[in-house]
Chains A and B, each alone.
Chain A
């Protein structure tokens, strides 16, 4: 054969492989409202940047007549490309090929592209759309999953790992996304569960739809497994592109810097956001937007444990991770879920050299039997652990209430915050004035001829004396009491001078966080 003929032969072979599961299967995929695996990769990456590898990989299974079956690419597409110029490794399971089921070679392709990502120190993005293990391949498909989980764990904290759920992701398959840093879901398309509705029906006699059991909304609002809820695949890819712009390629780098932009101060007037009555709510995201470059805030886990707000923004062009109590929801209390949410986000930022900015306004921990029994002690400890462990620049602004254990937990000086600022509206105290006065002056109130009036007077006295930032300032627990309008200026300067911060954790194999 001449080179020309050989090239033609190659083209023919590629043509065959690129058809995936064929026209009929593709039709079915489209009818489900889904893009094909290749279309997904192309929409996610920069135009013409996708380079595919292992196109000619075939399965090697023999049992159950598998040797007679030809599965193009073994049901998964792998390769490299760029997103806004940032290099990424990517794989996408192809549901049109044997339902995207995971066999040995399918898993090897994923493992190989993950190994590339680790060597090249660039992010890995996995698009999941699979019926699960390829039962015909038996224990080999289990081996495949296990090898992916191992790689996810090794890569954790070294390169950013992003999972995109664009179809079913059931049984063992759910644990790869669960081990990655960010999980994207799309309403009515994503489905994640360990045991599906059929098993639940046969074992329990309970009827539940896939959507109610493990749909995008369930994982965004209730379980916290998903980090980004989107309405369509197109919106999902836009959000992934945005996320990639905030995070570095690996733990050896810093996130890319963008041109500095002032916040939209006409829209977000920092002096007018917070009601002075500490019992009144407001949206803390307005404070973030009053501080961040271009008033941009990219929220993570927006629908889950909304009493805590976490997400990315930029200060002077540099990515920071914002962690803030949300008085609009449950008065911004710490509870089991909000502690988990914040702790995980803090650890991501710390692993990837992203400075932390914490905005504090909380009454304490959520009281309740359900909270105690759900382990608020262990879960609450995670936030202490992750803040204490973090060595990136840690900047804290106390906006209003900072009571009790909540004050300590929200990146206080005592957990080695680098800079702690407080607004004049801050109330840093062992507990809320009412509770404190009721305990300290209990006898005085009880024995007075008019207990209610005495109580009110004592609460007022306590407020005058302790519900302010100056007691803590007198001890050096906060560095400066600042006007709200000076917040950005102070944060930018603190960030600037922390650029070379070099704090080392004591040498250890790893800590033992209260999982």
Chain B
């Protein structure tokens, strides 16, 4: 087993309660992703799956609750609905696409 590196004076620093500590990161700390607040105008996939149908086009006006697309995931056909009234600014998907979780599907404005 390899020995952990000893802390160097100029290595990683961590601030807790206004005190700066000289230390080292662990594996999970290095894998952290920066936080970005959710954009309410972007409708994203809530789980990975494939796009079975797309009902809307760019520039189209939609009402709250209107069907945007069908995301087939885990053997279920999930209808993705518009969260609010608006206009379709961008459609990022086409039928047959495989999308990961949190992928932006449709952008409204």
Contacts and interface: CB of A to CB of B under 8 A. Distances in A.
Answer yes or no: are A and B bound together in one complex: yes
Interface of A: 203-206, 221-222, 229, 231, 278-283, 302-307, 327-333, 337, 363-370, 373, 403-404, 431-436, 438
Contact of A280 (B15, B22, B26, B28): B22
Contacts of B14: 330-331, 333, 366
Contact of B16 (A204, A363, A438): A363
Given A204-B100, A305-B28, A432 B23 contact: no
A403 B15 CA distance: 14
A364 B18 CA distance: 12
Given A204-B48, A204-B98, A302-B1, A279 B32 contact: no
Contacts of B27: 221-222, 303-304, 306
A441 to B, nearest CB: 13
23 contacts: A203-B48, A206-B100, A221-B27, A279-B22, A281-B7, A303-B27, A305-B28, A306-B4, A306-B27, A327-B23, A328-B7, A328-B24, A329-B4, A329-B23, A329-B24, A330-B24, A333-B16, A363-B19, A366-B14, A366-B16, A435-B17, A435-B19, A438-B18
Contact of A330 (B20, B25, B33): B25
Contacts, number: 98
Contact of B35 (A231, A281, A370, A435): A370
Give chain A's interface secondary structure class: loop
A205 B14 CA distance: 38
The size class of the interface chain B forms with chain A is: 20 to 34
A361 B1 CA distance: 25
B25 A363 contact: no
Nearest to A333: B16
Contacts of A221: 27-28
A390 B64 CA distance: 54
Contacts of B17: 363-364, 403-404, 431-432, 434-436
Contacts of A367: 15-16
B38 to A, nearest CB: 12
A241 B20 CA distance: 42
Contact of A306 (B26, B32, B35, B49): B26
B76 interface: no
Contact of A432 (B19, B22, B28, B31): B19
A503 to B, nearest CB: 34
B35 A369 contact: yes
Contact of B49 (A203, A364, A403): A203
B55 interface: no
A468 B88 CA distance: 62
B22 A330 contact: no
B4 A432 contact: no
A365 B21 CA distance: 13
Contacts of A369: 35
Interface in B12-60: 14-29, 31-33, 35, 48-49
A365 B17 CA distance: 10
